[in-house]
């Protein structure tokens, strides 16, 4: 099958393209999807015209989304993933021997089906792991009901979502962050991606400000993600755990003692370095 060229916008005035051999496309109840093979990235997954993940570089996104907060936590046992239907976040969490249960709440069952069909290299069986409970339901409603019940036993909440537009927009608002905070244990952390400081500066500024109104500690960290074509921001937030105090030596020691293997991006030095922000980014979120 011939390669097709796909253009993707980074902002109203910037964008980039990549070539794909399309192998499946369609429309679920909630969004359009495309699965293709890239000469550079291997199998790729797109939703509503935006690149979500690829075999070649998913580790950059998933390792930092998960391990920045999880390594700072004293002993993560229970986790909640909102979104994350490709299974990459669950796969990273399962590297922790202390993890007992993961609730994965995905709105669109088609994402789960496509991940199981095409993206074994990303989830590595995590979507069928006995510690992972996959729930096809609205994450907004799940969190609201859990918060009302008085539950407060999650050590990690991971918002592995599409961009904050359309169906996902409400999950980036301050009331939702407040409900997530209610579900976290004493040392619990929230982790989410916040976009590009170069192409979405106002989005970064707004999201960090919202997080700071809810959480005592907010730790933005930035990574170049090839598939997204930009420097990309992720933030860890908590009322009991400060990622900024973690030294490279302490991170390396926890990686070793917890028996976490198969990390391709993150170590102690990189953990600390990615949280040291360029001056223009510090000014943006000051």
| Rounded CA separation 57/226 (Å) | 7
Whole-Å CA distances, 182 to 2, 52, 177, 237:
50, 29, 9, 13
| Rounded CA separation 5/18 (Å) | 6
- CB distance 183 to 151 below 8 Å: yes
- What burial letters (b/e) apply to 249-259, b meaning 16+ CB within 10 Å? eebeebbeebe
Phi-psi region of 124 (alpha: psi -120 to 50; beta: other; left: phi over 0): left
The answer to whether residue 19 is catalytic is: no
C-alpha 130 chain-centroid distance:
22
Which DSSP letter does residue 275 get?
A: T
Edge-to-edge strands, sheet with 15-27: 4-9, 15-27, 32-38, 42-47, 50-54
Instruction: Out of 108, 155, 160, 198, pick the active-site residue.
Output: 160
> Pairing mode, if any, of strands 132-136 and 101-106?
parallel
Active site residues: 160
């Amino acid at each position: 099958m011939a390669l097709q060229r796909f253009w993707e916008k980074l902002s109203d005035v910037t964008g980039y393209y990549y070539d794909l051999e399309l192998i499946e496309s369609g429309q679920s109840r909630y969004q359009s999807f495309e699965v293709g093979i890239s000469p550079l990235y291997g199998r790729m997954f797109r939703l509503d015209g935006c690149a979500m993940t690829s075999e070649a570089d998913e580790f950059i996104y998933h390792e930092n989304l998960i391990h920045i907060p999880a390594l700072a936590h004293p002993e993560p046992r229970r986790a909640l993933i909102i979104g994350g239907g490709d299974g990459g976040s669950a796969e990273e969490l399962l590297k922790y021997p202390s993890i007992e249960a993961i609730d994965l709440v995905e709105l669109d069952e088609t994402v789960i089906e496509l991940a199981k069909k095409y993206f074994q290299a990303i989830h590595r069986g995590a979507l069928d792991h006995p510690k992972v409970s996959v729930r096809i339901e609205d994450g907004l409603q799940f969190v609201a009901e859990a918060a009302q019940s008085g539950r407060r036993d999650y050590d990690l909440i991971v918002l592995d979502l599409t961009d904050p537009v359309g169906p996902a927009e409400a999950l980036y608002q301050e009331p939702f962050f407040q409900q997530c905070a209610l579900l976290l244990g004493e040392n619990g952390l929230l982790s989410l991606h916040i976009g590009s400081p170069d192409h979405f500066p106002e989005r970064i500024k707004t999201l960090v400000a919202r997080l700071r109104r809810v959480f005592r500690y907010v730790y933005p960290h930035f990574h170049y993600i090839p598939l997204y074509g930009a420097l990309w921001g992720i933030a860890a937030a908590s009322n009991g755990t400060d990622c900024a105090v973690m030294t490279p030596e302490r991170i390396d020691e926890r990686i070793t003692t917890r028996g976490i293997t198969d990390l391709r991006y993150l170590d102690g030095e990189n953990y600390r370095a990615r949280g040291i922000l360029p001056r223009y980014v510090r000014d943006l979120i000051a």
